[in-house]
Structure 1
């Protein structure tokens, strides 16, 4: 029997689990372990949110009752998170300021993921066909492959992501490659 293709909600839930694990590692560790976990978390959040903004939220906005309201609230949270994540990038991960700001960020990150998991994902499962769920998973993977690896506040719509995303992604990936991704 062939393995069933991945659906978008399962993909996103798996990424949420990885995000939670990385955030816990950042909060509980120090030194190079914290720095590496934060870099991976920052990159995963950047590509994950971009893909949600380009693929998942537009579908949810159209397909679920009160979808616009739900998506608008998530986009507001994502915008705020990008601002905090950008500020965190400029701090020394072992500083007291980073630790305090990251602790608050971690709580907000958990609240955001929980909102999606309670308010958006179950309704996506209800409204989308299996084919749509698999198609969105493929589209999310494709979007993540070319997404920026750093947060870009104010770029939360599909149109803005499509216009600014490719340029930001190239700049971010070059920045990462030459080791200046942090500061």
Structure 2
């Protein structure tokens, strides 16, 4: 089954029945990103514990605060880019290709907005915000579980290998242009998110440079 994709360039040797476009399968790429994001979160939680943080009533020193702030910014930027790309391509594919896809996609978009709000609150709060760290953890775990246990297997059964690779190429492009800061109030569904997200991403990247904010590991 073909997913609703924008016009695509021709595939070399497209007349061959087994010809595939170049690039990565969307589901493989997103699953790999889920693991990388969970690893980032684990590093943040570990740094929080090692800093003498409020779990034991102490306050971290300046160096520990800087490390916590840097890890928080990298996690926030990485997860924000990931969610933006999923909203542009994964969830529209779910809505178009699966029998109950529209409902499933809508539920995921709503959950994404909650996760973005938790990220925004975490980065805006103090480095010692245990509640903020745990709120992100709970929602991140739910996000990964729903995607990998429910959506990904259904899409794998439904979409062709070529569609998944072409979607993967678009996810990669979308992430490069995506915001690096949470914006839960911006449009989260096509077509407007495909217009607004790159524009907001430009502004975010300028702010990141001016403030020397870390956005990549």
User: How many residue pairs were aligned?
Assistant: 176
When normalised by structure 2's length, the TM-score is 0.76
Give the 5 Å matches for 1:1-183: 5-30=23-48, 31=64, 32-93=66-127, 95=128, 98-154=129-185, 155-179=187-211, 181=213
Work out whether residues 118 and 135 of structure 2, in 8 Å CA contact, stay in contact via their aligned partners in 1.
no
Deviations for 1:79-115, whole angstroms, at most 9, x for unmatched residues? 111111111121122x2xx222211221111111101
Deviations for 1:37-79, whole angstroms, at most 9, x for unmatched residues? 2111111111111111111110110001211111111111101
Structure 2 segments unaligned to the other structure (5+ residues): 1-21, 49-63
d(CA) in 1 for partners of 2:44, 2:191: 33
Structure 1 window deviating more from structure 2 (149-158 vs 17-26): it is 149-158
Q: In proportion to residue count, which structure has more helix?
A: 1
Structure 1 runs of 4+ aligned residues shifted over 3 Å read none
Work out whether residues 6 and 137 of structure 1, in 8 Å CA contact, stay in contact via their aligned partners in 2.
yes
When normalised by structure 1's length, the TM-score is 0.90
Structure 1 segments unaligned to the other structure (5+ residues): none
Deviations for 1:14-47, whole angstroms, at most 9, x for unmatched residues? 0000110111111121423322221111111111
Structure label with greater radius of gyration: 2
d(CA) in 2 for partners of 1:112, 1:25: 19
SS of the residue 1:101 aligns to = helix
Residue 134 of structure 1 deviates from its aligned partner by 0.5
